[in-house]
Amino acid sequence: MSEKKKSRCIIIPCSGIGKAVGTVSRRATYIVTNELLPNDTDSICLPLLTIKDKETVRKIRETPCITVDGCIAQCAKKNVEHHKGMLKGEIKILDIIKENPKLKPGTVLDIAADGEKLARKAAEKVVKIMGGNC
């Protein structure tokens, strides 16, 4: 009998549609969940937390979460905190930009090469956080 493997950590991007940093957060999450740690990580649709979906709320309370937020509103982190989820770490794309001031993300629809580099740096930070906390 096969049993569905439980992810070690849920990575949650902010779903932001207004700024390129929202798309960078989304891309960073996919780099972790699809490329770097596909067997240990999973993601959820953040809007399911916003509408208080019971199954999703249960999942974030039972599994360590790392949020990846684009802007200062920190929607991902605040939605997880609102539901008392197991928040183990947070990344802010704006901090990654401050650390790499030469990298300027493109647009919401196309973050361009610099946006991709920022996403990779954010993804590496997520992996680092996971090493210590998840």
Query: Could you give the CA distance from residue 44 to residue 65 in angstroms, rounded to a whole number?
Result: 10
Residue 29 engages other proteins in binding (rule: CB under 8 A) = yes
Residue 26 engages other proteins in binding (rule: CB under 8 A) = yes
**Residues 65 and 7: beta-carbon distance below 8 Å:** no
Which amino acid does the sequence have at 52? K
**Residues 66 and 129: beta-carbon distance below 8 Å:** yes
* Chain residues 87-116 in contact with other proteins, contact rule CB under 8 A: 108-109
Residue 85 engages other proteins in binding (rule: CB under 8 A) = no
Residue selected from 9, 28, 46, 122 as contacting other proteins according to rule CB under 8 A: 46
Identify the CA nearest to 57 among candidates 41, 70, 46, 69.
46
Which span sits near other proteins by CB under 8 A: 74-82, 84-92, 94-102, 124-132? 74-82
Q: Which residue ranges make up the site for other proteins (CB under 8 A)? A: 12-18, 22, 26-27, 29-30, 34, 43-53, 73-76, 78-79, 82, 108-109
